[in-house]
Amino acid sequence: MEARRMVTPVPRAARRRRWSPQVRRSFIKGILFISPWILGFLFFNLYPMTKSFAMSFAEWHLRIPSEWIGLANYANLLHDRRFWTSLYNTVYMVLFAVPLTVFSAFVFAVLLNLKLRGRSVYRVIYYLPSIVPVVASSMLWMWIFNTNNGILNVFLGYLGIKGPSWLTDPAWSKPALILMGLWGIGNTVIIYLSGIQDVPVSLLEAAEIDGATWLQRLWHITVPMVSSITLFNLIIGVIDMFQYFTQAYIFAAVQAGTTAQQLGSPLDSTLFYSVYLYNRFQTLKLGYAAAMAWILFVIILICSLLLLRASKRWTYYESEGT
């Protein structure tokens, strides 16, 4: 917010016509300093974006000339069962995993904010799993999910529950991935925790004097005060979930027993959007994969915008209130 004020306002009429030598010099200087980003933007964003857009209208070959086929890639996607499966699997995760993760992160942050002895130790324990590399944590959880020897089913066995075949049952593979995701939730918890700590103590104390219970204070003060963080976590969660890849890739690789010959196993239940896209890329259906990428981009944009728009009803920014 500060930055906006720091730029000397250039009168609208003068902007295009002529810059004083001083303004021109500072413009050149600014451009020079940000030139690494400009080059990066051109080479690693703009160029590949336009190219993949173009590719999505072509049967793209590596060595022989590519043919333009118009909307055929997009039309074929409509009839591709695996495409719809991958979209379904991904939407499943977005609808279930993202809200569950954000909700749990909030609850865990509230727990970690309780004034308990050993609180800092708990914070470290809750946070540490999130810095375990995704590849390592996925391998670890495949071992935990092992039907016979995994600790999860052994633990469930103690409770008298017969644990499912997490790895081989298509009905349980996605819940397994969600559970694994909850384990690495630390970053989101920390973001919430910092938001909860910023809630003015005076507000909470005033409510307490007025006789509000702990739960009432949580629901009527803390939840609205961190609503902007909730929005941020939801948007980031949705964007990340649409690109969900590594965990599913490793899951399938362990499943199939070989190095990812069977993406999406068991029975395509972990064939997520990005996994299928990677599979199309691997099999050199480049135009097809590019079309998928662009659809993904549009879906992500629409979801983010919808969330932003809907959030106007339930988010609260401190600056608005005063």
Partner 1 sequence: MSAAGVTHTKHRISWRKFLSRTLGHVIVFSVGLFFLIPTLWMSFTAFKSRTDVFRFPPTLLPYDVKEVTINGERYPLYRVPIDGQMREFARLKVEEGNGTYVNPQSPDEVVEMRARLTEPVIAIKFHWNNFSDAMNRSTRPGLTVNFWTYLKNSTIVAALTIFGTLVSCVPVAYGFSHIEWPGRDAVFVLVLSTMMLPFQVTMIPLYLFFTSTLGWGDTFLPLVVPSLFASPFEIFLLRQFFLTIPKDLIDAARVDGASDLRILLQLIVPLSKPILTAITIFTFLWAWNDFLGPLLYLNNPEHFTLAIGLQDFQGQRNTAWNQLMAASVVFTAPIILAFFFAQRTFIEGIKLTGTKG
Residues 144-203 that bind partner 1 (CB under 8 A): 144, 148-149, 151, 154, 182-183, 187, 190-192, 194-195
Judged by CB under 8 A, which of 72, 91, 100, 134 binds partner 1?
134
Residues 199, 296 contacting (CB under 8 angstroms): no
The one-character DSSP state at 9 is P
Minimum CB separation from partner 1 for residue 322, in Å? 18
Would you say 128 or 306 has its CB closer to partner 1? Answer: 128
Contacts to partner 1 from residues 267-296, by CB under 8 A: 274, 277, 281, 286, 289-290, 292-294, 296
Omega cis (within 30) before 36: no
Minimum CB separation from partner 1 for residue 109, in Å? 11
Residues 203, 316 contacting (CB under 8 angstroms): no
Residue type, 48: P
The end-to-end CA distance of the chain, in Å, is 16
The one-character DSSP state at 120 is H
Helix (H, G, I), strand (E, B) or coil at 60: coil
Would you say 44 or 68 has its CB closer to partner 1? Answer: 44
Would you say 132 or 267 has its CB closer to partner 1? Answer: 132
Would you say 145 or 172 has its CB closer to partner 1? Answer: 145
Contacts to partner 1 from residues 9-68, by CB under 8 A: 10, 15, 19, 23, 26-27, 29-34, 36-37, 39-41, 43-45, 47-49, 51-52, 55, 62
Angstrom distances, CA of residue 296 to CA of 50, 79, 122, 279, 289: 15, 17, 38, 15, 10
Distance of alpha carbon 162 from alpha carbon 106, whole angstroms: 31
Decide if residue 106 touches partner 1 (CB under 8 A): no
Decide if residue 93 touches partner 1 (CB under 8 A): no
Minimum CB separation from partner 1 for residue 224, in Å? 15
CB neighbours of residue 294 within 10 Å: 18
Minimum CB separation from partner 1 for residue 19, in Å? 7
Q: Which residues pair with 241 in a beta bridge?
A: none
Contacts to partner 1 from residues 212-251, by CB under 8 A: 214, 228-229, 231-233, 235, 239, 242-243, 245-246, 249-250
Judged by CB under 8 A, which of 72, 91, 100, 140 binds partner 1?
140
Q: Which of 190, 233, 230, 225 lies closest to 207 in space, CA to CA? A: 225
Q: Hey, what's the torsion of the CAs at 102, 106, 109, 114, to 10 degrees?
A: -160
Judged by CB under 8 A, which of 17, 159, 258, 322 binds partner 1?
258
Minimum CB separation from partner 1 for residue 137, in Å? 8
Minimum CB separation from partner 1 for residue 174, in Å? 19
Decide if residue 3 touches partner 1 (CB under 8 A): yes
Q: Hey, what's the torsion of the CAs at 66, 69, 71, 76, to 10 degrees?
A: -90
Q: Which of 199, 191, 196 lies closest to 127 in space, CA to CA? A: 191
Would you say 95 or 135 has its CB closer to partner 1? Answer: 135
Minimum CB separation from partner 1 for residue 88, in Å? 18
Minimum CB separation from partner 1 for residue 318, in Å? 12
- From 68-76, 88-96, 135-143, 167-175, give the range in contact with partner 1 by CB under 8 A: 135-143
Residues 237, 105 contacting (CB under 8 angstroms): no
